[in-house]
C-alpha cells in the first residue's frame, strides 16, 4: 500500500482533489469534513504548497506545506532478455530505495525517449516490439524524495527465435561454400549429419561455446554467432589438397569466407581462424580440420 498522508482542515467535501504544487495526489479519501488521507505525487526535491479543491470548485491552499528532501538512488546497469517471440523483451535491474520505476524507450539512441511504463519492482516485460530491430531504454527511480537520475542507456536488439536465426546463417554459409569452393564435394549442416560420397566435404557447426545464441556485443549494436567449418579429408586428400596452405581445400574455404563481404544485406564475417592441427573423427575414421569464425549481424540503422 502506498504511503498515506493526513491533511487536516475544514469544510472538506467527498470527491475533492488534492494538489502538491501542481501535481495531483492519488488515493484521495475524504474521511470527514476535517480530514483527508492521500498519497503525495512524485515531485522534484523542494517545498510545495498543498491545495484542496472541493467538487464545487471551492478550496484553499496552505503555502510551503510539504517538503521533498534528498534524492532517490539511481538505477544501475540494465539487463535485457530477448526471449524467443521477436515481439517482446524483458528489462531487469537491481532495485534501489525507489518506490517505483519509470521505463523510457526510444527507437534511436539520441532520439526523444518516451515513458512507456511504470512498475514497482525491478523487472518489466516490454511488448509491441518489432523483430530484427533495435531499441534503447533507460529507467528512472521514483519516490517521495523525487525522481532519481536516469540509469545508463541500454541498447537492446530484438531478434526472432535464435534457432531459426542460427539455421538461416548456417544455410547461407552452406550455399556460399557450395557455389564458391569447387573442390568440395558436399557441404553439410550439423554434426549429426551422415557423411556420404567422395571426400573432401565440409560440415558447418554452431560453436558449442555459443550454443546457437545471439549475444549482444559489448559496446556495439550487433549480434554475433560463433561457427565452425569442419573439413573432412582422407589421407590421400590431405596430401593432395593440402590442409593449411592457401592452395589447399582449407585455404580455399578460408579465402571464400574472407572474400565475401555480405551473405545477405547485413551479414559479414569479422574473423577467420583455422585450427593448427589435424584431428581424428573416430566414429567416421576420418581426419578433419576446423576453421573457426564469427558471423556478425549488422543492424540497419
User: pLDDT tens digit string along 252-263?
Assistant: 887 777 665 545
Total domains, the chain: 3
Residue 259 — φ and ψ, nearest 5°?
-75, -35
pTM, rounded to two decimals: 0.45
166 and 292 in one domain? yes
Domain boundary residue, one of 158, 173, 208: 158
One domain, residues 152 and 245: no
Cβ–Cβ under 8 Å, residues 28 and 45: no
pLDDT of residue 287 exceeding 50:
yes
**230 falls in which pLDDT band (50, 70, 90)?**
confident
Which ranges constitute the DSSP H helices of 49-199?
162-180
**Mean pLDDT rounded to a whole number for the chain:** 76
- What is the structure's pLDDT at 54? 96
Residues 295 and 260 sit within 8 Å (Cβ to Cβ)? no
Whether the per-residue pLDDT at 232 is higher than 90: the answer is no
Task: Give residue 173's domain range.
Answer: 162-298
Same domain (yes/no): 62, 105: no
What pLDDT is attached to residue 260?
58
- Tell me the pLDDT band of 283, cut-offs 50, 70 and 90: low
Residues 183 and 274 in one domain: yes
CATH number at residue 124: 2.60.40.10
Which pLDDT belongs to residue 117?
Answer: 95
35 domain residue, yes or no: yes
Q: Looking at the structure, do residues 170 and 285 belong to the same domain, yes or no?
A: yes
Residues 170 and 228 in one domain: yes
Q: Cα-flanking dihedrals φ and ψ of residue 237, to 5°?
A: -60, -40
Mean pLDDT of 137-144: 90
Residue 45 vs residue 91, higher pLDDT: 91
Asked if residue 277 is part of any domain, the answer here is: yes
Same domain, 119 and 204: no
The answer to whether residue 38 sits within a structural domain is yes
Q: Which three cell numbers stand for residue 264?
A: 545477405
Amino acid at each position: 500500500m502506498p504511503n498515506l498522508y493526513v491533511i487536516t482542515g475544514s469544510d472538506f467535501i467527498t470527491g475533492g482533489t488534492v494538489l502538491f504544487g501542481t501535481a495531483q495526489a492519488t488515493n484521495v479519501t475524504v474521511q470527514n469534513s476535517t480530514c483527508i488521507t492521500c498519497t503525495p505525487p512524485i515531485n522534484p526535491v523542494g517545498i510545495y504548497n498543498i491545495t484542496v479543491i472541493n467538487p464545487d470548485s471551492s478550496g484553499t491552499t496552505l503555502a510551503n506545506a510539504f517538503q521533498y528532501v534528498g534524492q532517490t538512488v539511481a538505477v544501475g546497469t540494465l539487463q535485457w532478455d530477448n526471449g524467443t517471440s521477436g515481439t517482446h523483451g524483458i528489462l531487469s535491474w537491481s532495485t534501489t530505495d525507489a518506490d517505483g520505476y519509470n521505463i523510457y524507450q526510444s527507437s534511436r539512441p539520441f532520439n526523444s525517449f518516451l515513458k512507456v511504463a511504470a512498475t514497482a519492482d525491478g523487472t518489466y516485460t516490454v511488448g509491441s516490439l518489432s523483430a530484427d530491430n533495435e531499441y534503447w531504454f533507460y529507467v528512472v527511480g521514483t519516490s517521495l524524495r523525487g525522481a532519481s537520475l536516469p540509469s545508463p542507456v541500454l541498447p537492446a536488439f530484438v531478434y526472432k527465435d535464435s534457432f531459426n536465426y542460427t539455421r538461416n546463417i548456417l544455410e547461407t554459409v552452406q550455399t556460399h561454400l557450395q557455389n564458391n569452393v569447387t573442390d568440395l564435394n558436399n557441404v553439410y549442416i550439423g554434426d549429426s549429419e551422415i557423411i556420404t560420397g567422395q571426400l573432401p566435404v565440409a560440415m558447418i557447426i554452431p560453436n558449442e561455446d555459443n550454443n546457437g545464441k545471439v549475444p549482444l556485443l559489448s559496446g556495439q549494436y550487433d549480434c554475433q554467432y560463433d561457427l565452425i567449418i569442419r573439413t573432412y579429408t582422407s589421407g590421400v586428400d590431405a596430401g593432395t589438397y593440402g590442409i593449411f596452405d592457401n592452395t589447399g581445400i582449407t585455404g580455399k574455404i578460408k579465402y571464400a569466407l574472407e572474400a565475401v563481404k555480405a551473405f545477405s544485406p547485413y551479414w559479414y564475417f569479422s574473423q577467420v581462424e583455422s585450427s593448427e592441427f589435424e584431428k581424428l573423427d573416430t566414429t567416421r575414421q576420418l581426419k578433419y580440420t576446423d576453421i573457426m569464425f564469427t558471423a556478425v549481424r549488422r543492424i540497419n540503422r
